[in-house]
Amino acid sequence: MNSPQDRIHVIEGSLRCFCCGLLGIVPLVGVAASFIAFHHYHRTRRQAGGAWNPARRHLRLGYALGWFGVAANGALAALAGALALGSCLA
């Protein structure tokens, strides 16, 4: 990763990961965005190798937001399932 074009791709990938991770927080729709954030995270890490990435903070935050979105959507689904089951049993 020496050319400016390669650096641009790494920065863009980091920002895409961040945007998708941010969208991952949205209930229901966010699950797909979270998995897209994971894809961008791994692809960008592979492209960057060990080189310096000025948008590394965005890359890591996008990955963390993606995991938070998956966990939040899972908790929301479990809560909805529990409420539905409770109303069926009552």
Asked if 28 and 70 count as a contact pair (C-beta separation under 8 A), the reply is: no
Mean pLDDT on 29-56: 93
Residue 71 is predicted with a pLDDT of 96
Mean pLDDT on 38-67: 94
- With a pLDDT cut of 90, the percent of the chain lying above it is 76
| Most confident option among 25-29, 49-53, 66-70 | 66-70
Residue 1 is predicted with a pLDDT of 60
- Domain spans in the chain, listed from the N-terminal domain onward: 4-89
**Using CB atoms within 10 A of its CB, is residue 17 exposed (0-12), middle (13-18) or buried (19+)?**
buried
